Amino acid sequence: MGQKKDLTGSEKSKIVRYLAEGCSSLKIAKLLKRDHRTIKRFIQNSQQGRKKRVEKPRRKITAHELRKVKRAAAKMPLATSLAIFQSCNINGVPKSTRCAILRDMAKVRKAERRPPLNKTHKLKRQDWAKKYLKTDFSKVLWTDEMRVSLDGPDGWARGWIGKGQRAPVRLRRQQGGGGVLVWAGIIKDELVGPFWVEDGVKLSSQSYCQFLEDTFFKQWYRKKSASFKKNMIFMQDNAPSHASKYSTAWLARKGIKEEKLMTWPPCSPDLNPIENLWSIIKCEIYKEGKQYTSLNSVWEAVVAAARNVDGEQIKTLTESMDGRLLSVLAKKGGYIGR
């Protein structure tokens, strides 16, 4: 008599479902038309679970070798544990031991993404810092756009899971499930917005100016006093829709021109304090790997997170500009830490 085939995946799923419904192993065998002993064996094997892993003792590393590893880790950012140990001529150490040793002196990090800076960019950053070194930054309105997706950054969906618990299921969608473009500004200790850019991710010069008219000018700027408008400096980056001749001429007709419109150096997100506000908001709306099911729900989360940012936090960001300018000059136009 030939040997019976193993249980299929479909049969195993049915056994689990029947057990949840309270069926006995004998009844399940009859329903599936399989041998009772096969069903019992599958149930017993499932209940046993995995055997606990026996921890092997680590290979001992001398103090001298540890110092060599620490120096190598500092000189070789983003290198693998194997590459670090091989550079120190320390061989025969298993990966688990290497990682355990490195955890005591280093962290696994991703490389930061920044636009490349060439010599011209650095010179323009230095010129910008010198030009605005004596500026009263409490009168500068710092503006920018931020895109938020339904899923958020992939690397943020990580955290500690208790022993015996399974990680929650995370939805996987194209382009993060879609997203919302958000515009906002900060000045002194005040938040302007946030406003939802309805047209989507890419803005033309015409749609950008119309957006400013409907939101920034009508809902905030026109309520300010004449003296405030006279002294305010408007900052925007060099995005095509911002720096175009059409947008510049349109802002000039609104009275924002010459010294009232801040020139901006290329490739300089690290100099804009509102970038730090975006980080605060994103940390709040995506905490614990949270995902959203609609554009309205993620927009409501952005608004709620923005309302929780108090004036002192914003004031800390705007008052950091003097230090940022000095750092740019000290680094000869290079990137600064934010």
Give the mean pLDDT of 85-95: 89
pLDDT of res. 290: 85
Q: In degrees rounded to 5, what are phi and psi of residue 110?
A: -95, 150
Could you tell me which of 96, 102, 49 has the C-alpha nearest to residue 78? 102
Res. 176: pLDDT tops 70: no
The DSSP bridge partners found for residue 197 are: 181
**Lowest-pLDDT range of 15-24, 120-129, 203-212:** 15-24
pLDDT single digits (tens) 285-299: 988 778 888 899 999
Mean pLDDT of 43-71: 74
At residue 309, the pLDDT reads 95
Would the pLDDT of 155 be above 60? no
In the chain, domain spans: 9-42, 63-105, 119-154+177-331
Task: Find the mean pLDDT for residues 206-224.
Answer: 94
Do 152 and 286 meet the contact criterion of CB atoms below 8 Å apart? yes
Q: Is the pLDDT of residue 115 over 90?
A: no
Mean pLDDT score, 64-77:
88
Residues whose CB is less than 8 angstroms from the CB of residue 254 and which lie 6 or more positions away in sequence, other chains included: 217
Give the integer Cα–Cα distance in Å for 16 and 13: 5
Please state at what angle helix 274-285 crosses helix 295-307, rounded to 10 degrees: 120
- Report CA 20 to chain centroid distance, whole Å: 41
CATH assignment of 119-154+177-331, among 3.40.50.150, 3.20.130.10, 3.30.420.10, 1.20.1270.360: 3.30.420.10
Secondary structure string (H, E, C) spanning the chain: CCCCCCCCHHHHHHHHHHHHCCCCHHHHHHHHCCCHHHHHHHHHHHHHCCCCCCCCCCCCCCHHHHHHHHHHHHHCCCCCHHHHHHHCCCCCCCHHHHHHHHHCCCCCCCCCCCCCCCHHHHHHHHHHHHHCCCCCHHHEEEEEEEEEECCCCHHHCCCCCCCCCCCCCCCCCHHHHCEEEEEEEEECCEEEEEEEECCCCCCCHHHHHHHHHHHHHHHCHHHCCHHHHHHCEEECCCCHHHHCHHHHHHHHHCCCCHHHECCCCCCCHHHCCHHHHHHHHHHHHCHHHCCCCCHHHHHHHHHHHHHCCCHHHHHHHHCCHHHHHHHHHHCCCCCCCC
Least confident of 3-17, 64-78, 187-201: 3-17
Of 156 and 169, the structure prediction assigns the larger pLDDT to 169
Distances from the Cα of 21 to the Cα of 15, 37, 97, 153, 204, angstroms: 10, 20, 46, 40, 60
| Cβ partners under 8 Å of residue 197, min gap 6 | 145, 180, 181, 182, 183, 203, 211
Q: Which residue has the higher pLDDT, 47 or 85?
A: 85
pLDDT for the residue numbered 250: 96
Q: Report the distance separating Cα 221 and Cα 232, nearest Å.
A: 10
d(CA 254, CA 306): 27
Residue 1 has a pLDDT of 45
| pLDDT above 90 coverage of the chain, percent | 51
pLDDT at 228 over 50: yes
Pair 267, 121: CB distance under 8 Å: yes
pLDDT attached to residue 162: 67
**pLDDT digit string, tens, across residues 304-334:** 999 999 999 999 999 999 999 999 999 999 9
pLDDT at 259: 93
pLDDT exceeds 80 at position 4: no
% pLDDT > 70, the chain: 86
Q: What is the pLDDT of residue 200?
A: 55
Query: What pLDDT, on a 0 to 100 scale, did the predictor assign at position 2?
Result: 47
The pTM of the full predicted model, rounded to 2 decimals, is 0.68
Q: Give phi and psi for 192, each to the nearest 5.
A: -100, 115
Q: What pLDDT is recorded for position 314? A: 96
pLDDT at 50 over 60: no
